[in-house]
């Protein structure tokens, strides 16, 4: 369904505009066919624009998005990207890819539940990327708001949820979680937000100073 939300020629056009990636990143893209370099490059651009040096990923997967954030942090002068997944095998796979890309020393790896790991990690963050189980999106927001610095950026993935949010009869926990988070962020004056129609929809929200 992801490929069906945007015209194929638009996806192809946008992907042609992305600068070449290292072979290791191309191998990661080939491994996961739903991976879209356009969305990854957009996340990298946002991190560069705000000078992000502390980035926390909630649900980092096998490290593809981490590679874009790590590149941004390195080019911003150094810092840390927190890679968090439930599964040790997935964490090890990410370590292999990210080490091959030269990001040793930039990434801190955690195996555990993402919201609790965020809550227990000291300090605030310049950017938080949220891609946890969708039913958990609404409950994660207060923790995200607490841990994101004023002027920081929140990015949330899968805001179209493969098109399921457009089905009025879909009342599953996952779909309702996406809908609820969208309402919470877009109706809260503490956030300035937009949904960007790249890949499966990215929510980008600026944390208003407090």
CATH of the domain at 121: 3.40.50.150
pLDDT of 26 over the 90 cut: no
Q: Out of 22-26, 108-112, 148-152, pick the least confident.
A: 22-26
Q: What is the pLDDT of residue 33?
A: 61
Full residue range of the structural domain in which residue 199 is found: 2-207
Torsion of CA 58, 161, 159, 12, to 10 degrees: 100
- The percent of residues above 70 in pLDDT, for the chain, comes to 95
Find out whether 98 and 70 touch, Cβ atoms under 8 Å. Answer: yes
C-alpha span between 54 and 128 (Å, rounded): 9
> For residues 94-118, b (16+ Cβ closer than 10 Å) or e, as one string?
bbebbebbebeebbebbeeebbebb
- Rounded to the nearest 5°, which phi and psi values hold at 199? 50, -115
């Amino acid at each position: 369904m992801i490929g069906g939300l945007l015209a194929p020629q638009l996806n192809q056009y946008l992907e042609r505009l992305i600068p070449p990636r290292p072979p290791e990143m191309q191998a990661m893209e080939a491994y996961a066919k739903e991976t879209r370099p356009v969305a990854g490059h957009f996340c990298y651009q946002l991190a560069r624009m705000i000078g992000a040096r502390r980035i926390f990923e909630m649900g980092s997967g096998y490290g593809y998005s981490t590679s874009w954030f790590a590149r941004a942090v390195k080019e911003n002068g150094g810092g840390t990207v927190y890679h968090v997944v439930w599964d040790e095998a997935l964490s090890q796979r990410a370590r292999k890819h990210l080490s091959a890309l030269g990001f040793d020393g930039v990434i801190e790896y955690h195996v555990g539940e993402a919201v609790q790991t965020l809550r227990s990690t000291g300090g605030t963050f310049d950017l938080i990327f949220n891609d946890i189980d969708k039913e958990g999106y609404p409950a994660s927001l207060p923790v995200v708001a607490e841990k994101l610095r004023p002027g920081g950026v929140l990015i949330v993935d899968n805001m179209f949820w493969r098109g399921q949010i457009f089905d009025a009869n879909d009342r599953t926990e996952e779909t309702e979680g996406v809908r609820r988070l969208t309402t919470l962020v877009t109706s809260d004056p503490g956030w300035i937000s937009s949904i960007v129609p790249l890949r499966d929809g990215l929510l980008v929200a600026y944390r208003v100073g407090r």
